[in-house]
């Protein structure tokens, strides 16, 4: 019988490989949502040591976790020999029994942020084509530590100190608990060769300077403890950030936070109950929900407007995102060029239904025979109608006859406290003579005393 290895005996290549594989399996068991069993996974594969280690670790659990693997490599086309490296990356995948899709940039310009955006756009498209539930990225602990330090140098809060998230949507990073060198030791133990990326040594890139300059300098003071200490700081920052985020969600709920097609709305006085720091975090969360990330300047401008802004005014808090006050509510609205309205024309006879788009909002208009499920419905006297009817948005000069006299639509909607941002989306029914017959949800044209012999025209509207 083989004798157990002495604790003082040197570790063999097999020991290194088994240790990394066992820790990888435990990490996935501890985070089951990272790579769910039975799912399809796309590996973002550069051919470097990190992505190669990830590929083979996933291959090692492919059968036990019933994973379907594919890979994708993005050739930025920025350096000589990039096409050859892409071909080599595809070959490494094929030798592991994993198909690899190659994507190539065309005339890619800009800086690191532009390259990253192009790479992630390619990976997102490749994931959709592959029908994958997750995209596995090869970021490891050293990348994580470098990100924390880079964020610290830029100026950051808890979210930046938390470093690289293990998961963001479909993108996951299963290797954050492993150092770069131990992943290379694992590959050496397996006899596998990776592709060196010359960009990793390019001093033009800030991350490269942090990796080869700042981290070694800090290690002179902290020694080998540097990376574990920074990773521990990131873990505490993440816990603090998640706690504050949870509180912000509860605070927003009590403030009547409601998402809308172009942003969100919140009760202003509900927000003013909290201090500036809490309001700032709530505002940043609302912006993230809308797909925006606020700068410190945008956050400060938004928080100041919450308390001092007047109704009918607003402030830009990010490129394409605006905070506005409308009566006692605050609205966060994306500034988009709305598509042209799609109006509905209704003839004199029969029944029907047709889709409409008014001020960016979508509706279904029904007439003649209604189903009783319409959100708004009315009956117009046949003698007061001049066909064809038209369902459109409000226009300057529109008026409606009320029992107390004629009223401008702008004044009517203001009295009904319809926010200015919503008024273009209020459907208006007019006749061929352009007289307003119905302001949907608000007023119907006043007519003479009802006549039992009169014919009526039913019309209803559903908001989509």
Crossing angle of helices 296-308 and 276-289, in 10° steps, is 110
Whole-number Å distance between alpha carbons of 257 and 265: 6
**Tens digit of each residue's pLDDT, the chain (464 residues):** 344 444 555 666 667 778 999 999 999 999 999 999 999 999 999 999 999 999 999 999 999 999 999 999 999 877 788 899 999 999 999 999 999 999 988 766 767 778 888 899 999 999 999 999 999 999 999 999 999 999 999 888 899 999 999 999 999 999 999 999 999 999 999 999 999 877 777 777 888 899 999 999 999 999 999 999 999 999 999 999 999 999 999 999 999 999 876 689 999 999 999 999 999 999 999 999 888 889 889 999 999 999 999 988 999 999 889 999 988 999 998 875 557 889 999 987 788 999 999 987 889 999 988 888 889 999 888 877 889 999 999 999 999 998 888 999 999 998 888 877 778 889 999 999 999 999 999 988 876 555 555 688 899 999 88
Task: Judge whether 197 and 159 are in contact, CB under 8 Å.
Answer: no
Task: Judge whether 430 and 392 are in contact, CB under 8 Å.
Answer: yes
Q: How many Cβ atoms from other residues are within 10 Å of residue 13's Cβ? A: 13
Task: Name the phi and psi angles at 105, rounded to 5.
Answer: -80, 150
Strand order in the sheet with 376-381: 352-358, 361-367, 456-463, 376-381
Task: Judge whether 263 and 332 are in contact, CB under 8 Å.
Answer: yes
User: What is the structure's pLDDT at 385?
Assistant: 86
Whole-number Å distance between alpha carbons of 454 and 384: 10
- Distances in whole angstroms, Cα of residue 308 to Cα of each of 302, 334, 419: 10, 21, 18
Tokens of 395: 């226009």
User: What is the structure's pLDDT at 114?
Assistant: 80
* Residues in CB range of 367: below 8 A, 6 or more apart: 346, 351, 352, 353, 389, 457, 458, 459, 460
* Residues in CB range of 183: below 8 A, 6 or more apart: 20, 49, 50, 53, 140, 175
**pTM assigned to the model:** 0.69
User: What is the structure's pLDDT at 98?
Assistant: 97
Beta strands in 164-319 (DSSP E): 167-168, 171-172, 258-260, 263-267, 314-318
């Amino acid at each position: 019988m083989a004798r157990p290895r002495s604790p003082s005996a040197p570790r063999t290549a097999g020991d290194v490989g088994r240790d990394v594989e066992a820790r990888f399996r435990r990490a996935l068991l501890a985070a089951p949502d990272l790579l769910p069993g039975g799912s399809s996974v796309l590996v973002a594969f550069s051919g470097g040591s990190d992505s190669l280690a990830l590929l083979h670790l996933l291959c090692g659990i492919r059968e036990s976790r019933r994973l379907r693997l594919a890979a994708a490599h993005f050739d930025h086309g920025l350096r000589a020999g990039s096409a050859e490296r892409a071909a080599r990356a595809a070959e490494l995948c094929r030798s592991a029994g994993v198909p690899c899709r190659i994507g190539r940039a065309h005339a890619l310009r800009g800086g690191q942020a532009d390259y990253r955006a192009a790479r992630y756009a390619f990976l997102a498209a490749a994931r959709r084509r592959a029908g994958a539930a997750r995209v596995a990225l090869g970021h490891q602990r050293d990348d994580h530590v470098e990100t924390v330090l880079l964020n610290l140098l830029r100026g950051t809060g808890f979210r930046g100190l938390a470093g690289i998230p293990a998961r963001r949507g479909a993108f996951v990073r299963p290797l954050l608990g492993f150092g770069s060198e131990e992943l290379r030791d694992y590959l050496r133990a397996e006899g596998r060769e990776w592709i060196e990326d010359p960009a990793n040594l390019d001093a033009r890139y800030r991350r490269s300077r942090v990796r080869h300059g700042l981290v070694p300098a800090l290690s002179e003071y902290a020694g080998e403890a540097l990376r574990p200490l920074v990773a521990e700081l990131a873990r505490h920052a993440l816990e603090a950030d998640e706690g504050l985020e949870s509180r912000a969600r509860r605070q927003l709920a009590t403030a009547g936070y409601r998402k809308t097609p172009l942003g969100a709305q919140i009760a202003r006085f509900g927000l003013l109950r909290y201090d500036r720091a809490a309001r700032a975090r709530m505002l940043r969360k609302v912006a993230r929900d809308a797909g925006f990330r606020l700068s410190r300047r945008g956050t400060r401008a938004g928080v100041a407007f919450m308390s001092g802004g007047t109704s009918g005014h607003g402030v830009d808090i990010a490129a394409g995102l605006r905070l506005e006050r409308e009566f006692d509510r605050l609205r966060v609205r994306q500034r988009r060029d709305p598509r042209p309205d799609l109006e509905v024309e209704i003839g004199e006879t029969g029944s029907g239904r047709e889709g409409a788009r008014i001020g960016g909002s979508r509706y279904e208009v029904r007439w003649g025979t209604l189903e009783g499920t319409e959100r708004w419905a009315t009956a117009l006297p046949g003698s007061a109608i001049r066909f064809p009817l038209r369902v459109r948005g409000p226009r300057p000069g529109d008026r409606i006859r009320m029992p107390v006299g004629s009223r401008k639509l702008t004044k009517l909607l203001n009295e009904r406290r319809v926010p200015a941002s919503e008024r273009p989306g209020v459907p208006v029914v007019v006749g061929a003579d352009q007289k307003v017959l119905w302001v949907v949800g608000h007023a119907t044209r006043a007519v003479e005393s009802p006549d039992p012999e009169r014919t009526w025209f039913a019309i209803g509207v559903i908001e989509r």
